Structure formats: structure tokens, C-alpha cells
Amino acid sequence: MFVSRSLIKLQRYGLIKVCRNLCNQSSTTSTGNVDLKLENLEEKPAFPGSRSKWTSQLEFIRSENYEGIPVYRVMDREGKIIEPDGDPNLGQEMITKLYKGMTLLNTMDRVLYESQRQGRISFYMTSYGEEGTHFGSSAALRSDDLIFGQYREAGVLMWRGFTLDQFMSQCYGNIDDLGKGRQMPVHYGSKDLNFVTISSTLATQMPQAVGASYALKRQGSGRIVICYFGEGASSEGDAHAALNFAATLDCPIIFFCRNNGYAISTPTREQYRGDGIAGRGPGYGMATLRVDGNDTLAVYKATAAARRICLEESKPVLIEAMTYRIGHHSTSDDSTAYRSVDEVRFWHQKDHPISRLRKYMEQRSWWNDELEKDWKEESKRQVMQAFVAAEKKIKPNVKEMFTDVYDEMPPHLTEQYESLMEHLKHYGEHYPLKKFNGMGDS
């Protein structure tokens, strides 16, 4: 009995199923062909790496032919709950703590932004308009979950317990700065609070976060990782590598994208052509959600649900929080050069996360104008007290520039250190050495 080579190949690669018993086939014809009786013919392609159906229609898939991924929200712009069962019912104490944290961050931003403009510190970045993404997400995490931030997550760290004194000390690079003055302002980090020190370079934290989450998975620690990044960072190669590694390795990590409309001066329409960042999640094979980043309650629920998926399924989740950057990108930026004042005013007045949460509180008689007035005065007092104290503190010893990387200072760093000391010995009068710890007599 003769069976064609092509049929054998198809059978070998599992592309069709032949009948169970070749003995039931009809006899060979004069041309050598066999009339096979096929049972259970596979109607779907069996190509590895896809879950497709056959089609005879030649049609290209175009993103504009599909509706965008919906934006999940709990309350509208007036602070009213949309669906009765949508309210997470966090209670007055928790909601008040969230609100006070968001407004305290706002006050600190104003003071430190002006501080940079006065030449007191070298650099600063505000979080105006994005406070809901910070506090809504961090409140849904466990305190020992590991955080990899980008550079606009001060509120996440504030919720964890980073004090105003610590924020100020880092921005001033004084002797109490945990980074010993070696980082730019707003590049915070805290080992005690499980917050990995921030790096300016976009997206480098993303593959690092995946590696950390894989390690936590291997340990069976019950902890997860959350990695914050902006929509601009998603254009970096590291972002794509991180998403793919996390998906294929089933890592318990939340990728939290703050889509605030602008990557520095580049609007989203020039960053990508697809349906935002959330549109990429299914392509990588991970659970994905788009949430209203100005709805603090929705962000909280989204992050809490994502954390459950990470723990129970040991899989990554992608959250895209849609928000708006009301402030300039940083003190090195003037956003009026690429967007209108009316655009900024709209988001500030009509869809601000702080005002929305306040309306929610007022509807429950948890907040009023008198409480607002008292808290504004108190929060400003706290910020200014920490500000004045940080500015008076001396800087770390210059030797700190050479330490903490190696257990023992290697020869090349020793040579540089000795060269610096020799230079200061001869020209120290030209430097404000008294402002540096232990350097007054150098």
C-alpha cells in the first residue's frame, strides 16, 4: 500500500488527523493514490504560538477598526459612585488619610518647585494631577511588596511612611540624605520601605523589576513587585523585553503605566499609533486593565485586583492609568511651548483627582471648608518646618563619593580620592568646605 510523501509529512507534523485504522482504507488505484477516509479533521490551524481560526477572507487587521480598551472607573467627575456595588467602602479614616496624603504631596511639590526656582536645589519634578495614581495604587499593596519607581512616584513612597524630613534631605543632598548626596533631587530610595532607588534612565527599572519578581516567586514569599513607568518609557527597548520576560516566566509583577499624556514634550499621538499601552498587554499574553487614573478609588480597586492575580495565578498584570500631567515635566521644561494654557486649565479645574476625592468625602459629610482650611495651614506648616531644617544641615563628607560600591576601595578609586584630597589641600580656600561634614579644617 502506498501513501504519498506529502501526507506522511503532514501527519508527522501533526497538521491533520488521519483515520485510526489504515486497514479501513480502500485499495490502491492504478495511479498509486489512496482514497483515505478522514475522521475528526482538525478545523483550526495547529501552528505553535497562536490560537487562530482559518479564514478565506484576505483582510488586514487595523487598530482603527476596533474600539479602544474601556477605561474602568468607580466615580464620576463629581465624586458620585456610578454603580452602588462599585464603592470599595474604605471608610472615613482610610479615605481621609488618602486625601491628606495627596494634598500634602501637592504642598511639598509647590515648596520644592519654588525652591529650585530660587536656586536652593538643582532640580525638581512635581506630581500635579497624578496624585490619584500614587496613593490609590500604593494603598492597595502590602508593605513588604517591592516597588520599582520611575521618577514621579513620590506619593507612593509618602504612603509607605517616607517622612517630609527624608524627602527634603534627599532633595538638598544633606548629611541625613539616605543616598549621601550622590543622587539628583527626587531620586528617592528606601531599603526599609522596600522602595528601590530611582534611576533617571527611562525603563531600566523594568527588566530589573521582572528579575526581582521572579526571585520572589522562586522564594515562595507571598510578595509581589510593582513597577511604575510612564507611557514614554514604554517606547524603550527595555520595556518590551521586560513585558515579554514577565509573561513567559509567569512573574508576579504589576506593570503600572502612568499615561499622563506627554513624554516630556512629546504628546502621545507622536509616541505610538496603537490603542495606548494597555493595547499591548494581550499581545504579550498578560491580564490587562485600563483605569481612570484621576479616580483614586478605581485605581485602588484595580491595583488590589491585580495583586490577587499576581499571587493566586503567579502571573503578571498590566495596568494603564489614564491621567494628565498638569505641571511641567520638570524644572528643566516649559510646557507652554508645546501645549495650550486652556488644555491645562481644563484638567486642573474639571478632572483633578484631589477635587474629585474631596467631593466624594463631602457627600458623606467627612470633609468641609473648615477642615480644608485647617489642614492647608497644618500641611504647609509641616512642609516648611522640614524645608527649613533640611536647608540648614551640612552636606556629607566628600569621601562618600567613593564609598559603598565596593567592600574595599579599589586602587583606581583610591588614586582618585587621594588626588582630590591633595587638590583640596592646596586650593581648599576656594571651596565652601565648612558646609561639608568633617571638612571644615581641610
Active-site residue 330, yes or no? yes
> What is the band of 65 on the pLDDT scale with cuts at 50, 70, 90?
confident
Direct distance between the N- and C-terminal alpha carbons of the chain, in angstroms, rounded to an integer: 99
Domain made up of 84-392: CATH architecture: 3-Layer(aba) Sandwich (3.40)
Point out the catalytic residue in the list 200, 221, 332, 419.
200
Answering whether pTM is above 0.75, one says yes
pLDDT over 70 (residue 231): yes
Output the pLDDT for position 175: 97
Question: Largest alpha-carbon pair distance within the chain?
Answer: 108
Q: What are 199-210's pLDDT values in tens digits?
A: 999 999 999 999
Q: Averaged over 188-192, what is the pLDDT?
A: 98
Active-site residue 114, yes or no? yes
> What is the band of 441 on the pLDDT scale with cuts at 50, 70, 90?
low
> What is the band of 42 on the pLDDT scale with cuts at 50, 70, 90?
low
Residue 121 contacts residue 172 (beta carbons within 8 Å): yes
Q: Averaged over 237-261, what is the pLDDT?
A: 98
Point out the catalytic residue in the list 199, 265, 314, 330.
330
Higher per-residue pLDDT: 41 or 410: 410
Output the pLDDT for position 43: 78
Q: Averaged over 243-265, what is the pLDDT?
A: 97
Q: What are 354-406's pLDDT values in tens digits?
A: 999 999 999 999 999 999 999 999 999 999 999 999 999 999 999 999 998 89
pLDDT over 50 (residue 29): no
> What is the band of 6 on the pLDDT scale with cuts at 50, 70, 90?
very low
Q: What are 402-434's pLDDT values in tens digits?
A: 998 899 999 999 999 999 999 999 999 999 999
Active-site residue 352, yes or no? no
pLDDT over 60 (residue 8): no
Output the pLDDT for position 49: 84
Q: Averaged over 9-37, what is the pLDDT?
A: 41
Closest CA to 124 of 137, 138, 134, 114: 114
Point out the catalytic residue in the list 134, 329, 335, 379.
329
Mean pLDDT (the chain) is: 91
Output the pLDDT for position 440: 75
Output the pLDDT for position 196: 98
Least confident segment among 1-15, 142-156, 393-407: 1-15
Cell output for 145: 511588596
Q: Locate the domains of the chain by residue range.
A: 1-41, 84-392, 398-435
Q: What are 172-186's pLDDT values in tens digits?
A: 999 999 999 999 999
Closest CA to 296 of 101, 136, 131: 136
> What is the band of 63 on the pLDDT scale with cuts at 50, 70, 90?
confident
Q: CB neighbours (10 Å) of residue 315?
A: 18
Point out the catalytic residue in the list 39, 114, 415, 422.
114
Residue 167 contacts residue 389 (beta carbons within 8 Å): no
Output the pLDDT for position 27: 41
Q: Averaged over 105-114, what is the pLDDT?
A: 98
Active-site residue 187, yes or no? no
pLDDT over 60 (residue 218): yes
DSSP 90-155: --HHHHHHHHHHHHHHHHHHHHHHHHHHTTSSS-----TT-HHHHHHHHTTS-TTSEEE--SS-HH
Q: Averaged over 72-94, what is the pLDDT?
A: 97
pLDDT over 50 (residue 4): no
